[in-house]
Structure 1
Amino acid sequence: MPISPGEVSYITGAASGIGRALATSLVNQGGLVIIADLNGEAGSKFAAELNDKAGSVVAISVKTNTTIWEDQLAGFQEAVRTFKRIDYVFANAGIAERPWLPPFDPETAASRPLLKPDLATADINLTGQLYTAALALQTFERQEIGPSGFRGKLILTASVFGYFPSRAMPLYAASKAGIINFMRSTAQYYAGKNITINSVAPNLVDTPIAPEVLFIPFRERKLLSDIQLVLDQFEKLLGESTLNGQALSVKADNAWVHPADTHMLEENLPACDLISVEIFKLFGDKTA
């Protein structure tokens, strides 16, 4: 659904790729955007381009390392100082898989030290998004209902690898699976609080997230996801949309709502429901 003119969007990873395309689309609809990106120079240049085209201040840039809480906090504070509120938060920043362990090779293993794993992919794709989500939800809680009828909306960029395993991308798959289940869980908690939480989960999209050479065989086999179709899924979650707890997914030119796993759910539901009740008691949360 379209946004209302003047609504404010905070987008991490907005200087390139999906984030950049999303920011451009929102400004074209009359929205205001915060470009939060580790590449401060690219973010500032992009914001200036949007402002020049609009003839007014429709975008600001905040240099943000999403894995650093203080960076993200400062970005949100600057956004509220400038635009007074935030209607949409897009937890979008992410990176591709990095080798977390050396390649499996029993012949040389004994001669190598036991190495600390590289968890950068999980740090950015999971922890960084959770920092963004924590700031979004606390910001929404502190502001009144906006023009579209909500305190705010949180949309997390996930991936189909949040549902499907990948032997070459265990940390990427783990982080995206974490985002999907975080989204489904928090969407239940915030239901009825004028806050929605959803995710958009594409398969591979042609963006700067990975080296150019990686995309060549996917182009040849027409396996890349259409970025406009990805943007269309974000659009479904905006404005007066009441969708909540949904994983809108894209593969090439196909889009679908990915269902939650219900295998053995009926048998486990009594314990799952009761643990929520008891945990809320321990945490002093009055949620039923």
Structure 2
Amino acid sequence: MPFISRGEVSYITGAASGIGRALATMLVNQSGLVVIADLNSEAGSKFASELNEKEGSIVAISAKTDTTVWEDQLAAFQQAKSTFKRIDYVFANAGIAEHPWLPPFDPETATSRPIVKPDLATVDINLTGQLYTAALALQTFERQEVGPSGFRGKLILTASVFGYYPSRAMPLYAASKAGIINFMRSAAQYYAAKNITINAIAPNLVDTPIAPDVLFVPFRERKLLSDMKLVLEQFQKCLGESDINGQALSICQESIWIHPPDTHMFEKNDPACELISVQLFKLFGDNTL
């Protein structure tokens, strides 16, 4: 299993709780430095203080960050660079559960209700927020030299198995996670020869504060929760000298796998898909082949 080098720096969104908190703890235990970027500034500051007290030195800083606000994330990245000089790993992890985007379907009452604007908060946080994180990560990596592990930097996004599978109760969550998966696969190809790796970790439901605790009760009873230890192991596989790139590392209870891309009718579509990349790079003034 690859490990980080001593003193390597990780920027983690949503790091004050859940997967982000577990990830930050793991990295500090490996002699890493972490930036706790979280909307809950009180919890983030308390967590950073706990890590620093335990280690007896400054191994963590916190930054109040609304990931849907570009300026917040830019300030957090600048704070990280000012404090730790570089950023080796960026974990685009912050996310929320489904927010109902439309009222429940009810033809009997529909005509008595106004047509409403959809609530896109799930997409704003789970997709747009992560893309802001990714944009800052990739531009930061571009501006720094190769680090001790042999890379300019590594970007790891938290996705979900719902990036591959539909959910009738979570259309926007599924849409946002599918967007993350295909962004990761596409961007990983672009950055593959640039000393940058991009991967996604895609668990099924993990017992975290992402939703009210009552939601998890039947999953605990039926042993349908994904193992946090296995989730962290998949993150670990992408770190250090690992050359894993463009992969969706997936977890469901005790099972782990690399989820393959959809190849249905791929050979038929590939010539046009490849040519549009070539033509767009020319249009964009990008020398990438």
- Place the TM-score, normalised by the shorter chain, in its bin: over 0.9
Shift of 1:143: 0.1
Contiguous gaps of at least 5 residues in structure 2: none
Counterpart code for 2:146: I
Match of 1:102 in 2: 103
1:81-100 superposed matches below 5 A: 81-100=82-101
Match of 1:225 in 2: 226
Match of 1:137 in 2: 138
Match of 2:184 in 1: 183
TM-score (norm 2): 0.99
Shift of 1:224: 0.1
Match of 1:192 in 2: 193
1:201 alignment partner, SS class: strand
Cα distance between partner residues in 2 of 1:265 and 1:256: 22
**Deviation readout 1:172-208 (Å, 9 max, x if unpaired):** 0000000000000000000110000000000000000
Match of 1:7 in 2: 8
**Deviation readout 1:65-107 (Å, 9 max, x if unpaired):** 0000000000000000000000000000000001100000000
Cα distance between partner residues in 2 of 1:231 and 1:191: 24
Report whether the alignment pairs 1:64 with 2:65.
Answer: yes
Match of 1:52 in 2: 53
2:226 alignment partner, SS class: coil
Shift of 1:39: 0.1
Cα distance between partner residues in 2 of 1:141 and 1:35: 22
1:73 alignment partner, SS class: helix
2:131 alignment partner, SS class: helix
1:50 alignment partner, SS class: helix
Cα distance between partner residues in 2 of 1:101 and 1:9: 37
Shift of 1:139: 0.1
Counterpart code for 1:272: C
**Deviation readout 1:13-68 (Å, 9 max, x if unpaired):** 00000000000000000000000000000000000000000000000000000000
2:154 alignment partner, SS class: strand
CA RMSD, Structure 1 to Structure 2 (Å): 0.3
1:204 alignment partner, SS class: coil
TM-score (norm 1): 1.00
Counterpart code for 2:227: D
Cα distance between partner residues in 1 of 2:179 and 2:9: 27
1:110-129 superposed matches below 5 A: 110-129=111-130
1:81 alignment partner, SS class: helix
Cα distance between partner residues in 2 of 1:210 and 1:128: 19
2:125 alignment partner, SS class: helix
Consecutive aligned runs of 4 or more in structure 1 exceeding 3 Å deviation? none
Counterpart code for 1:112: R
Cα distance between partner residues in 2 of 1:40 and 1:172: 25
Shift of 1:241: 0.2
Cα distance between partner residues in 2 of 1:143 and 1:170: 39
Cα distance between partner residues in 1 of 2:148 and 2:34: 16
Match of 1:148 in 2: 149
1:128-277 superposed matches below 5 A: 128-277=129-278
Shift of 1:269: 0.4
Shift of 1:263: 0.5
Identity across the alignment (%): 81
**How many residues matched?**
288
Shift of 1:265: 0.4
Contiguous gaps of at least 5 residues in structure 1: none
Cα distance between partner residues in 1 of 2:245 and 2:163: 18
